[in-house]
Amino acid sequence: MNRRKFLSYCLKGGVSMAALTQLQLQAFQGSLSYEFDDHKALVCVFLYGGNDSLNMLVPIEGEARALYEASRQNLAVSNPLSLSPITAIDGGVGLHPSMSAIQPVFESQNLAFISGVGSLVVPTSKADYDNEAVPLPKHLFSHNDQQATWMHGREKISLNSGWGARLLERIEQGGAFVNNISLAGTNPWQTSANLTPFSLHQSGVSRINPINGTSNRATHVRDIMTRVLSQSTHPLASTYGTKVQSAITNTEAMNSAIESSIDLSSYFSDSSLSQQLHTVAKSISVRQTLNAKRQIYFVSMGGFDTHDNQLTTHPALLGALSQSLAEFNTAMSAIEASNDVTLFTMSDFGRTLTSNGDGTDHGWAGNQIVMGGAVNGGEIYGSLMTQHLDGPNDTRGGRLIPQVANEQYFSSMAQWFGLANSELVDLFPNLTNFDTHSLSFMNI
């Protein structure tokens, strides 16, 4: 769908031209025209609370190990699972032992890590940080602000939007609700002036009882409901009415597509993340019925704000995460969608190398996971940072300055998704401050 068609869609959908501001119109005015024959999907797994992701990848021996243990003390991970990345790492690198489920996925080169990544405006050294010589992301270490920074893929501006939504709009795929699906509710990543994710129930199909079926009663109730939902002129009330009406329309459309999906339940366990990914898999399995070319999905997992009891809670979280990812990987192979689907993680921030006794506090740089057949897997990208308290990248207390901007991480996936290189900077404005605009972890 090109821009003209998109605008025409908006009109048909009841969004009046007058409601589109000049600024929003500009959002569509990419210089390029996009058209896709194949299907691709990006699946974002958001780890709410700030994953202590530096503890997912730890040194095994030598000086790096010694510095790590001295820094991490009682929260240092012992018995890591040795990984053999394509590029060998001095001192070795081990995976958190509770993440054994994804070790084979890594070794089979379907999974990679992006290391030392975080929110940055420009490349930042410790001296820059100490001297306030460069602009920094606003409200570092604050949960909701840093979540927003990851999801927006740029610094706060007045009319902000998520980079997922911007990506869909830029490649002219924003018009169909099935391209923008959330299993975890409203979120900034998938939201822009024109786009709000369709929120799919975890069970996939959800009947709308009052209007289910074709009885006279159901038809009558549906007619009156439709009328009532469009009645209000109050801006908040009419927004609510519009939302309910579109929830009904889209849910019914989705129901009829997903009802015909094959049974994938045997691939997934019962955890919340597994069940969300199960529904994503079901939805991807009917991609042709949905006529979807480019889709973004959002799922989430909470509990990563491990200020206390980290030795108990964090391994459990990583174990569940790892299990769910491995299941999804298998399911994608089963429906032959592996090469078309890329799953990746985001999280508020990494955590401090220092402990507060039995937990960690809000940090900055961390590691992220990217998985799928199109990933140049079995490798660690970015910069596997030395976990060195008071070391060269430590702002204080073990909050490490990222060596890779999260926008570099995102742009690599946007490229794979189909965005032209010339438009990367339009999507991620801070890229102009960095020498390389993307990393090489996607097979493009």
Partner 1 sequence: MLKKNTLIFFFAVMLSGCGGGSSESADTQSVPESNSSDASGSSDDSGSSDDSDSNDNSGSNDNSGSNDDSAEEEPSPPDISTSVSSDTYQAGEKVSFSVNLSEQDAKTSTIEWQQLSGPTIEITTDLTVEFSIDENVSALDEHYHFIVTVTNEAGLSSQEEIKFSVIKAMSEQQSARLLHQATLGPTYDEIQTATGKSYEQWLDEQIQLPITYHSPLVENYPDRDEPSQINRIDAWWKASLNANDQLRQRVAFALSEIFVVSDLNTSLSGEPEGMAAYYDLLLEHAFANYRDLLEQVTLSPIMGVYLSHLGNEKADVERNIRPDENYAREVMQLFTIGLNELNLNGTNKLDENDEVIATYGQQEIEGFARVFTGWTFAYSARWNRPSRNYTLPMHAFDDYHSSAEKVLLNGEVIPENTNAEQSLAIALDNLFNHDNVAPFISKQLIQRLITSNPSPGYVERVAAVFNDNGDGIRGDLAATVKAIYLDNEARGLETPLAHFGKIKEPLLKTVQFWRVYNTKSLTNRYFTWNLPTTYGQGPLQSPSVFNFFRPDFQPGELVDTELLAPELQIANDAALIGIVNTHYADLVWRVAERHDELNENSLYLYMQDDHELINMNGLSAVLDKYDILFFAGNMSEEMRQALIDMDEFFATRDSYQRISNLVYLISISPEFTLQQ
Chain residues 385-404 in contact with partner 1, contact rule CB under 8 A: 389, 396-398
> Is residue 198 within 8 Å of 254, Cβ to Cβ?
yes
Position 4 contacts partner 1 (CB under 8 A): no
* Positions in 34-53 near partner 1 (CB under 8 A): 48-49
Q: Please choose, from the candidates 115, 99, 119, the residue with its C-alpha nearest in 3D space to the C-alpha of residue 107.
A: 99
Among 31-39, 87-95, 230-238, 327-335, the segment contacting partner 1 (CB under 8 A): 230-238
Position 159 contacts partner 1 (CB under 8 A): yes
Q: Please choose, from the candidates 276, 278, 279, the residue with its C-alpha nearest in 3D space to the C-alpha of residue 330.
A: 278
> Is residue 157 within 8 Å of 166, Cβ to Cβ?
no
Q: Which of 237, 262, 316, 444 binds partner 1 (CB under 8 A)?
A: 237
Of 240 and 269, nearer to partner 1 (C-beta) is 240
Position 256 contacts partner 1 (CB under 8 A): no
CB proximity list for 50: less than 8 A, separation 6 or greater: 143, 146, 304, 305, 347, 348, 349, 350, 351, 362, 363
Position 180 contacts partner 1 (CB under 8 A): no
Smallest separation (angstroms) from partner 1 to the CB of 414: 21
Site string for partner 1, 262-301 (x = CB under 8 A): ----------------------------------------
Phi-psi region of 152 (alpha: psi -120 to 50; beta: other; left: phi over 0): alpha
Position 224 contacts partner 1 (CB under 8 A): yes
Position 235 contacts partner 1 (CB under 8 A): yes
Q: Please choose, from the candidates 56, 27, 1, the residue with its C-alpha nearest in 3D space to the C-alpha of residue 318.
A: 56
Position 196 contacts partner 1 (CB under 8 A): yes
Q: Which helix (H) or strand (E) holds 313?
A: helix 310-334
Smallest separation (angstroms) from partner 1 to the CB of 34: 22
Going from the C-alpha of 370 to that of each of 186, 293, 343, 350, 381, the distances in angstroms are 23, 21, 6, 16, 10
Q: Which of 145, 271, 383, 391 binds partner 1 (CB under 8 A)?
A: 145
In the 3-class helix/strand/coil scheme, how is 125-177 assigned residue by residue?
Answer: CHHHHHCCCCCCCCCCCCHHHHHHHHHHCCCCCCCCCCHHHHHHHHCCCCCCH
Q: Which of 74, 84, 436, 443 binds partner 1 (CB under 8 A)?
A: 74
Position 98 contacts partner 1 (CB under 8 A): no
Position 238 contacts partner 1 (CB under 8 A): yes
Smallest separation (angstroms) from partner 1 to the CB of 409: 24
Angle, CA 350 vertex, CA 115 and CA 44 arms, to 5°: 70
Position 422 contacts partner 1 (CB under 8 A): no
Of 114 and 353, nearer to partner 1 (C-beta) is 353
Position 205 contacts partner 1 (CB under 8 A): no
Q: Which of 100, 109, 250, 383 binds partner 1 (CB under 8 A)?
A: 250
Task: Count CA within 13 A, CB hemisphere, residue 178.
Answer: 25
Distance CA 181, CA 299 (A): 9
> Is residue 148 within 8 Å of 136, Cβ to Cβ?
no
Position 194 contacts partner 1 (CB under 8 A): yes
Angle, CA 92 vertex, CA 87 and CA 372 arms, to 5°: 50
Of 124 and 329, nearer to partner 1 (C-beta) is 124
Backbone angles phi, psi at 369, to 5 degrees: -110, 140
User: What is the Cα gyration radius of the chain?
Assistant: 22
Position 100 contacts partner 1 (CB under 8 A): no
Residue 413 in 3-state DSSP? helix
Position 126 contacts partner 1 (CB under 8 A): no
> Is residue 200 within 8 Å of 181, Cβ to Cβ?
yes
Among 89-97, 102-110, 224-232, 373-381, the segment contacting partner 1 (CB under 8 A): 224-232
Q: Which of 355, 393, 411, 415 binds partner 1 (CB under 8 A)?
A: 355
- Indicate if the alpha-carbon torsion angle 196, 331, 286, 421 is positive or negative: positive
Position 33 contacts partner 1 (CB under 8 A): no
Smallest separation (angstroms) from partner 1 to the CB of 227: 6
Smallest separation (angstroms) from partner 1 to the CB of 144: 5
Of 142 and 376, nearer to partner 1 (C-beta) is 142
Position 186 contacts partner 1 (CB under 8 A): yes
Q: Which of 53, 149, 192, 406 binds partner 1 (CB under 8 A)?
A: 192
Of 168 and 337, nearer to partner 1 (C-beta) is 168
Q: Which of 111, 121, 299, 353 binds partner 1 (CB under 8 A)?
A: 353
Position 21 contacts partner 1 (CB under 8 A): yes
> Is residue 52 within 8 Å of 306, Cβ to Cβ?
yes
Of 179 and 415, nearer to partner 1 (C-beta) is 179
Residue 44 in 3-state DSSP? strand
